[in-house]
Amino acid sequence: MPKASKKSPGKTILIAEDDPFLSKIIRNRLAEEGFAIDTATDGDETLQKISTGHYALVTLDLIMPNKNGFEVLAELKKQKIKVPVLVFTNLAQSEDEREVMSLGAKGYYVKSDISIDDLVNTVKRYV
């Protein structure tokens, strides 16, 4: 069952994150800013929700069950699905950043290097 609210039509954000604690923190903080939020906990669910819903933006973890974030981005590119994706990950290698950017991500952020407030401000810049 989707967890989207009706606060901001056209401003729904999909949080693709398999860590329930982090997902809840991001969800609650973005909801405080008036965004409607939906969540996915693995790559398959992320792709399914993107293909059936309209999202203003997707925050995407790279390390998730079923399909990882690289595979999600590759599938979005293959299907020519245009949705802004911001990658929030624990992977700090520059090769990973180059790969996700080449797959169409709009931004790449290492979780340990960004505060929740910075994450919210980054999301606001893209929505």
Burial class (CB in 10 A: 0-12, 13-18, 19+), 61: buried
Q: 64: closest CA among 100, 19, 33?
A: 19
pTM of the model: 0.89
User: What is the residue extent of each domain of the chain?
Assistant: 12-126
Q: What is the reported pLDDT for 9?
A: 43
**Over the stretch 17-72, which tens digit does the pLDDT of each residue have?**
999 999 999 999 999 999 999 999 999 999 999 998 789 999 999 999 999 999 99
Cα–Cα dist 125/106, whole Å:
11
Which CATH fold would you assign to the domain 12-126? Rossmann fold (3.40.50)
Cα–Cα dist 2/25, whole Å:
17
Residue 92: other Cβ atoms inside 10 A: 12
Q: What is the reported pLDDT for 4?
A: 41
